Amino acid sequence: MMMKAGKLDRTITLLRATGTQDEFGQEVVGTTTLASVAAEKLNLTLKDVQRAQLNTTPIDAKFRIRWRSDVTIKNRVQHEGVTYVIVAIDEVGRRSGLLLTLRAG
C-alpha cells in the first residue's frame, strides 16, 4: 500500500524520553524532539473503541505516518498541544508506513 502525500496533511512531533541527573544526583526525566513528521489523522472506528474497552486502555487518536525504524512505544507524540502515549504501532504495507494508536496523557 502506497502512502499518498496529499493525505499527510497534519504535522506531529515525535518525542523521545531522556534522563539526566541534577546536581543532587537524582534522575530528571524529560523529553527531546526526535522528529516532526507529516501525518494523516484517522477517525476512530466503533471497533477501535470496543477493543479499547476490552483491554481497558482508552484510545484517543490514530495517526498514519511514513515508515521510520526509530519509533517505539517508549516514544510520545505531540499534536496541537496535546501529548499522547503510544499504545500500539502497526506496520502499513511492507515498510510503507506506521499506524500509531495513541492515548492522551
Q: For the chain, give the mean pLDDT.
A: 88
The percent of residues above 70 in pLDDT, for the chain, comes to: 90
**Distances in whole angstroms, Cα of residue 14 to Cα of each of 1, 27, 34, 36, 93:** 23, 22, 5, 6, 21
Q: How many domains does the chain have?
A: 1
Q: What is the pTM of this model?
A: 0.81
Answer yes or no: are the C-beta atoms of 66 and 27 closer than 8 Å. no
pLDDT tens digits, 5-49: 678 999 999 999 888 888 888 888 888 999 999 999 998 878 777
Q: Supply the CATH number for residue 47's domain.
A: 2.40.10.270
**Domain hosting residue 54, numbered range:** 5-104
The percent of residues above 90 in pLDDT, for the chain, comes to: 55
